[in-house]
């Protein structure tokens, strides 16, 4: 596991918190929800009946394991299976088990921004599939893209599950997909999940549970700022708020100050004033249809090879090649 980038990530956290909280309107990046507490809260979110994304994608992979696995297989040279944002690996384990039991020659490389998640996944895989070759790494997507170009000796399959692409607005998604394309050779595949447009209430319910787990997940970024950067946010004075625009397919999460306040962040030598009901934008969760995904792929220099969906057509996994 790569721990050399830890100071680098701390510097990035400081820089991005400073930029986000001094901007107008204020914003913070959802990638910083994730630490030991955030990882556990996200596990709880994925277990909620209203959070359909995990169950849909697990169904897709479980019901199409053979087809997906054989699409990945390279009988001659084997392959590198690289997963960005691996998390707990619950869905991926279905494929890993199939590949391990059916004589695939491959190395699994999970990458995640959360050191805690990478450590837990590596330890679990060592227990559950001791013969599996795992080369885990801590890092952000954009950090590792350049290094992916070095994986050019044999076929590679890049996986991005959980509709993580949805955390990027379309312009940044095209940039991300373009950079992925630049790491790919003609035989390489990109296997990526895209949450689909659906009943707006279904979307809102997924991100705004009554039990408050999603609210706690969003507020964890303020707790991290307090702990790691010497902030004095009164976390309980912020409300979590979710919106969804069915026209654009954009779900947005906000933290809303319930009263006027002044916040100090010691390590940034920063004082921030909040008006009552002022917002911090924390997350975007984009929803898609086939037309939008085709457009993104075309702009990024990719082509859709095939796709898989669940019984309700709530969610799709697309397979891309370099155009």
At residue 3, the pLDDT reads: 37
| Verdict on whether the full-model pTM lies above 0.75 | yes
Q: Tokens 């392959």 appear where? A: 79
Distances (CA, A) of 315 to 265, 287, 311: 40, 9, 9
Domain residue limits, the chain:
6-33+200-286, 52-198+288-322
The whole-number pLDDT of residue 147 equals: 82
Question: CATH topology for 52-198+288-322?
Answer: Rossmann fold (3.40.50)
Q: What is the pLDDT at residue 168?
A: 94
Instruction: Judge whether 174 and 300 are in contact, CB under 8 Å.
Output: yes
How many residues are given for the chain? 323
Those residues of the chain that have pLDDT short of 50 are 1-5, 7
How much is the pLDDT for 9?
59
Q: What is the pLDDT of residue 141?
A: 74
pLDDT at 8: 56
Residue 71 CA to residue 304 CA, distance in Å, equals 13
Tokens, residue 97: 């088990």
Structure confidence at residue 5 (pLDDT): 44
């Amino acid at each position: 596991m790569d721990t050399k980038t830890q100071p680098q990530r701390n510097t990035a956290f400081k820089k991005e918190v400073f930029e986000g909280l001094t901007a107008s309107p204020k914003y913070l990046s959802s990638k910083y929800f994730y630490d030991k507490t955030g990882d556990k809260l996200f596990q709880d979110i994925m277990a909620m009946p209203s959070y359909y994304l995990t169950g849909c994608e697990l169904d897709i992979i479980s019901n199409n394991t053979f087809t997906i696995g054989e699409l990945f297989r390279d009988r001659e040279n084997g392959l590198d299976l690289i997963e960005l944002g691996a998390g707990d690996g619950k869905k991926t384990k279905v494929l890993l088990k199939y590949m391990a039991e059916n004589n695939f020659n491959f190395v699994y490389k999970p990458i995640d921004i959360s050191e805690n998640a990478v450590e837990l996944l590596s330890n679990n895989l060592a227990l559950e599939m001791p013969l599996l070759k795992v080369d885990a790494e801590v890092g952000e997507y954009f950090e590792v893209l350049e290094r992916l170009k070095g994986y050019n000796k044999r076929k590679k399959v890049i996986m991005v599950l959980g509709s993580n692409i949805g955390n990027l607005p379309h312009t940044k998604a095209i940039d991300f997909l373009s950079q992925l394309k630049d790491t790919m050779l003609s035989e390489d595949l990109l296997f990526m999940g895209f949450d689909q447009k659906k009943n707006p209430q279904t979307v809102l319910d997924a991100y705004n549970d009554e039990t408050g787990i999603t609210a706690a997940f969003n507020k964890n970024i303020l707790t991290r700022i307090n702990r790691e950067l010497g902030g004095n946010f009164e976390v309980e004075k912020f409300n979590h708020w979710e919106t969804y625009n069915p026209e654009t397919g954009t779900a947005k999460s906000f933290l809303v100050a319930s009263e006027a306040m002044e916040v100090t962040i010691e390590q940034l030598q920063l004082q921030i004033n909040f008006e009552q009901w002022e917002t911090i934008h924390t997350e975007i969760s984009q929803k898609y249809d086939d037309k939008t995904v085709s457009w993104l792929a075309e702009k990024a220099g990719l082509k859709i090879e095939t796709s898989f969906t669940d019984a309700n057509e709530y969610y799709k996994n697309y397979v891309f090649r370099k155009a």
